Amino acid sequence: MGIEFGMSLTGIDNVVANARRLETLGYDFIGCGEHVSFHGPTSNSFISLGVAAGATERIKLLSAIVLLPLYPATLAAKLAATLDVASGGRYHMGVGVGGEMPREFEACGVPLGERGARTNEALQIIRRLWTEENVTFEGRFNTLHEVSIAPKPVQQPGLPIWVSGRKEAAMKRAARYGDGWMPYMYTPDQLRDSLDKIRGWTLEAGRPVDAVKPSIFAFSCCHAERGRAIDMAVARLSVQYAQDFSKIADKYVIAGTPADCRARIQQYVEAGAGTVFLSSACTAEYQATNEEIFAKEVLAAFK
């Protein structure tokens, strides 16, 4: 069926062992998200994926996601290009605007209301720095006078950019600047509807209708006992996001028995997802088991 699957690194320690395990299990992507300040310990995607790159040989690396408005555009371009070179051309840059933690924006000196505009401008600059020499740009937030970065990414013309989000502004961003669309907290019906809109905006932007590849990011927990899987997911996510997930887990989380998880993933595939990116929502002790069950009893059915 050609569906690709990824799994997020959870936790900041043991990156080497976790990355090697995911590669051995046959996942197509290793991913990592980031926050500067959150409800608990969080990583930086460039650093953790850099460690994972050195520990693996084949598996692709995906930032899921870089909080792009918190970076100067030129610095983000440089970090991404360097990671792509260091990994031998395996890095994919997932980007989003964040916003659920206003204090981290304040701490970084970035007004919360500017995050979308800053991201759009950064994506224009990043694309040019990856492919051009002596870039000059006069924008609202960035000024460049004959700036180049070296080395350029191994992947040309520029490494893939996956745009994440939930709202129409993110869909338009994907249509204009992205190679992939990776919504989160989405049902299959929401994914299908978003893809119809993105195709229209992609054509309006003068790009091919299929320029943006669809995917889905979903928290996940698989267990022989359906109730145990759901309970673990609710407990983990309620703490991680400091809110009650008991009322929304059935809509947005892939959780249950292997058969339940296969059926839910099939709905996302039928809605258009070509990549399914998972993040374990379970106890730390169960994480490795969860990743193995997904690889051997769920994802294998789609290969």
Q: What pLDDT, in 10s, does the model give residues 160-169?
A: 999 999 999 9
Neighbouring residues of 56: CB distance < 8 A, sequence distance ≥ 6? 19, 20, 23, 30
Q: What pLDDT, in 10s, does the model give residues 68-117?
A: 999 999 999 999 999 999 999 999 999 999 999 999 999 999 999 999 99
pLDDT of res. 92: 98
Residue 176: pLDDT band with limits 50, 70, 90:
very high
Predicted TM-score (pTM) of the model is: 0.95
CA-closest candidate to residue 94, choices 72, 126, 138: 126
Return the DSSP state at 54. H
Q: Say which CATH architecture domain 184-303 belongs to.
A: Alpha-Beta Barrel (3.20)
Residue 180: pLDDT band with limits 50, 70, 90:
very high
pLDDT of res. 56: 98
Give the rounded percent of residues in the chain with a pLDDT score beyond 90: 95
pLDDT exceeds cutoff 80 at 249: yes
Helix axes 188-204, 168-177, angle to 10 degrees: 50
**How many CB atoms lie under 10 A from the CB of residue 244?**
11
Give the rounded percent of residues in the chain with a pLDDT score beyond 70: 100
pLDDT of res. 196: 97
**How many CB atoms lie under 10 A from the CB of residue 33?**
25
By the 8 A CB rule, do 265 and 298 touch? Answer: yes
> Region 264-284: what's the mean pLDDT?
97
Return the DSSP state at 297. I
Residue 7: pLDDT band with limits 50, 70, 90:
very high
- Asked if residue 183 has a cis previous peptide bond (ω within 30° of 0), the answer is no
Q: Rounded distance, CA 113 to CA 118, Å? A: 10
By the 8 A CB rule, do 292 and 25 touch? Answer: yes
Higher per-residue confidence, 100 vs 303:
100
> Region 276-282: what's the mean pLDDT?
97
pLDDT of res. 11: 82
Helix or strand (DSSP H, E) at 96:
strand 91-96
12: tokens are 């900041």
Q: Indicate the pairing of strand 275-280 with strand 254-256.
A: unpaired
By the 8 A CB rule, do 79 and 116 touch? Answer: no
Residue-range domain boundaries for the chain: 1-10+29-159, 184-303
By the 8 A CB rule, do 86 and 53 touch? Answer: yes
Q: Rounded distance, CA 153 to CA 246, Å? A: 43
By the 8 A CB rule, do 101 and 38 touch? Answer: yes
pLDDT of res. 1: 53
Residue 303: pLDDT band with limits 50, 70, 90:
confident
Q: Rounded distance, CA 294 to CA 26, Å? A: 11
* Mean model confidence pLDDT for the chain: 96
Neighbouring residues of 233: CB distance < 8 A, sequence distance ≥ 6? 219, 220, 221, 245, 249, 253, 255, 281, 282
pLDDT of res. 39: 86
Residue 188: pLDDT band with limits 50, 70, 90:
very high
Residue 223: pLDDT band with limits 50, 70, 90:
very high
**How many CB atoms lie under 10 A from the CB of residue 231?**
17
Two domains, one topology: 1-10+29-159 and 184-303: yes
Q: 1-10+29-159 maps to which CATH number?
A: 3.20.20.30
pLDDT of res. 95: 98
Q: What is the identity of the amino acid at 284? A: A
State the number of CA atoms in the 13 A half-sphere of 42 facing the CB.
20
Q: What pLDDT, in 10s, does the model give residues 230-247?
A: 999 999 999 988 899 999
Helix axes 115-131, 73-86, angle to 10 degrees: 50
> Region 33-45: what's the mean pLDDT?
93
